[in-house]
Amino acid sequence: MKNSILILLSLFILYSCQENNEKKVNPVNQYTIEQFLENENSFANGFSPDKKNILLTSNRSGVYNIYNILSNGEQLIPITKSDSASVFGISFFPKDDRILFRMDGNGDEIFKIFMKDSSGIKNLTPLKNVRALFRGWSKDGKSFFYGSNERNAKFMDHYEMDIETFESTLIYQNNDGMSYGGMSEDKKYILLTKSINTNDSDLFLLNNQTKDILKINENLSSNSPQDFAPDGNSFYYTTDDNAEFSYLMSYNLKDGSKSKVLEKKWDITNFYFTRNGKYKILFTNEDAKSVMEVKEVSTGNLVSFPEISNQNVTGARFSRDETMAILTISSSNMPTNSYSFDLESNQYQQLTDVLNKEINSNDLVRAEVIRYKSFDGLEIPAIYYTPQQASTSNKVPAIVWVHGGPGGQSNQRFNSTIQYLVNHGYAILAVNNRGSSGYGKTFYKMDDQNHGDKDLKDCIAGKNWLTSQTIIDSSKIGILGGSYGGYMTMAALTYAPEEFKVGVNLFGVTNWMRTLKNIPPWWESFKEALYTEMGDPNTQDSIRLKKISPLFHTDKVTKPLIVLQGAQDPRVLKIESDEIVEGVRNNGVPVEYVLFEDEGHGFVKKVNQVEAYSRVLQFLNKYLKGNGLQSIDANKTENAPID
């Protein structure tokens, strides 16, 4: 009798533990892609000279346009009303209310610089097939600097444009495939870099008067110019020389001495001074999260920013007189908002409220950083999103999400597409496979000339980690990626055809030989570095490149595939997707193809985003969640809570 009671008690305790360990399932409202894309994507471009107005870029109209908003957050007024090409703000003019902005040709990346004034809009860099990129204002505000490949399509020269006459002067002629890294206020010194491979680059100091050029780094390392000191006596740069992570260095222009300024356990990614040198701003990439630190130069005191809605201040754009800043506030489960902040009064004012009013913020999911062991024991970091409706009794399908690159990084920023898929019951594991940035240069270089092999095995290991999670349906795991991530999707379906149930390829490379031979001309300075990592298609490397190109192995594909592509893409040509679709269809495998005639490398128009991501969800619902059955209408609003 006593033993029977003990057994019953043990069973009761076991059952109670299982009940307690069962994840509490919260009611979740499901939203359409239209509702998610009504989350406005906006960012501030800076103050007007009197600080009463702020230039804002937003896609609220469905296409990126620029707007004027008062510093107190009132009276948002459109400045441009483009319904086709996207418009991105650059800046107000330093001393008047004229505005600079840029546009390209529906994603072709041939950018032009435009001016908007009271009389209308003027193209300041009108030469056909010539690319122009803004590089900053002069100290006196009477001119601005820009890069242009008008002289030679392969190289970006450095120009100065007078803002009264709009005449340009060539300051630096780039004959050696250098990349511009900054210029001293007196225009005497220019910082340049030369890529050696995708991690390492040499740093040079050019005396623009004598034309003498000096190499700054001594060893093979990654070197990135940051800013000149306000007194003009030194400049700052980051390097990973003899270290895994980039640290901050200073170089004395008078005697050539160098000194280490700051080193952290993560990469220091950016460092610069405000216009008059009152503040210095430092950014680090800490476990896939951008962390900003602002200090007053004279005192060394850390500037404290307000904590707003439990979100992080991830950026600050200062007024020219350094009394105000535009703060960027974001988190993984809330889209980015902008605030104006008075540094003297510590008062702030919200400028944007981008979350769609129809979406309950409690239905959004916060990212979690996890780590798992790959096939060879290497630890792989990843960003994990779990649907709130998932539990051990309600297992959900999952997707391995692969970032772009090579060399990119999945991070902890808000992503509407991820939130949309998670909201509809898909767990997302955004892997940072070997070769990803942010985890040290050894990790970054691990996939050099090894693509489609160990990096793919890292993704498969991520899939295996998902299968060990009690809330995941291990029989329903797919893979999704864009650009390099799209390549990884196709590599998975061709070289490991039974690992993933479906593949989603967004403008992914499928023929490395063609892609490497047809890189845009303005990438010339980076071409050799890319060849070092990937291989030179004009040499015997072509044998390996063909071997790792999914286009030549489409007969291996057995799982359903969806491909999305922009016809104007200058990086991954439309023919890449055309041919991979044709090849896989020849196998009798279900293939869907979504082509946008007015998009480039990525989709920026809302109408196209709605089409793209609703098609992705329909595809996943049919072939991943639904075993090939007819999909539900992904555009139908489902406001009833689900368990």
* SS3 sequence of 495-521: HCCCCCCCEEEECCCCCHHHHHHCCCH
- pLDDT digits over 505-525, tens only? 999 999 999 989 888 887 777
Binning pLDDT at 50, 70 and 90, where does residue 528 land?
Answer: confident
Compute the distance between CA of residue 229 and CA of residue 583 in angstroms, rounded to an integer: 56
Name the residue with higher pLDDT: 503 or 84. Answer: 503
Q: Under 8 Å CB-to-CB from 308, ≥6 apart: which residues?
A: 329, 339, 348
Residue 415 has pLDDT above 60, yes or no: yes
Binning pLDDT at 50, 70 and 90, where does residue 492 land?
Answer: very high
Residue 75 has pLDDT above 70, yes or no: yes
In the predicted model, what is the mean pLDDT of residues 628-634?
Answer: 42
Residue 18 has pLDDT above 50, yes or no: no
In the predicted model, what is the mean pLDDT of residues 88-109?
Answer: 96
Position 17 scores a pLDDT of 42
Residue 288 has pLDDT above 80, yes or no: yes
Three-class DSSP labels, 121-151: EEECCCCCCCCEEEEEECCCCCEEEEEEEEE
Where is average pLDDT lowest: 12-21, 210-219, 381-390, 424-433? 12-21
What's the sign of the alpha-carbon dihedral 465, 466, 472, 477? negative
599's tokens: 């998009």
Residue 365 has pLDDT above 90, yes or no: yes
Strands 427-431 and 379-385, sheet pairing: antiparallel
Q: Spell out where 343-470 has E strands.
A: 348-350, 368-373, 379-385, 396-402, 427-431
Where is average pLDDT lowest: 263-267, 539-543, 552-556, 630-634? 630-634
Percentage with pLDDT > 70 across the chain: 93
Position 312 scores a pLDDT of 81
Percentage with pLDDT > 90 across the chain: 84
Position 13 scores a pLDDT of 34
Position 527 scores a pLDDT of 80
Residue 279 and residue 317 in contact, taking contact as beta carbons nearer than 8 Å: no
Residue 335 and residue 41 in contact, taking contact as beta carbons nearer than 8 Å: yes
- pLDDT digits over 153-173, tens only? 999 999 999 999 999 999 999
392 torsion bin: left (phi>0), alpha (psi -120 to 50), beta (else): alpha
Position 396 scores a pLDDT of 98
Residue 326 has pLDDT above 80, yes or no: yes
Position 627 scores a pLDDT of 65
Binning pLDDT at 50, 70 and 90, where does residue 26 land?
Answer: low
Structural domains present in the chain: 42-175 (2.120.10.30), 361-511+549-642 (3.40.50.1820)
Residue 404 has pLDDT above 50, yes or no: yes
| Mean pLDDT score of the chain | 91
